[in-house]
Amino acid sequence: MQVDAVGVPVLTPKVDIANVRLRLASGLIANLTASRVSVEKVRKFRVFSPKSYISVDFAARSAQVCRLIEGADGPEIAVERTAAPNEEPLRRQLAAFIAAVRDRSAPLVTGSDGLRALALAHSVLARMAE
């Protein structure tokens, strides 16, 4: 995975705005931006691949998937919109963890998943420090 990251201080001596671009071996690209100085509350996640684009708005709890398909007159873009349940995400996370412990089943997110996410976060911080 290729990680490109930049972070800049704006109002404080620490990073106030950060942008990360992740490029996976499959060609998938994810752009992530975090800002403490944004006027609007924006919580979006976008994923690009050669024939699709996914945009998730965590604040609005909605998602949009755009796929390139073959239409009658050539390529077309098919758009699918979905909405997430109107539940607090942290509450759902905790409920899933409790259910995994109670039922002795595998959690939705494993310790290995968490470790990989932490390693990626450290990679991002290292790239911003360059």
Residue 18: its pLDDT value, please?
94
10-residue mean pLDDT series, the chain (130 residues): 94 94 90 88 85 91 94 93 87 93 93 94 92
Q: In this structure, what are the phi and psi dihedrals at residue 59, rounded to the nearest 5 degrees?
A: -65, -45
- What residues have CB less than 8 Å from 100, skipping those under 6 apart? 106, 107, 108
What is this structure's pTM? 0.69
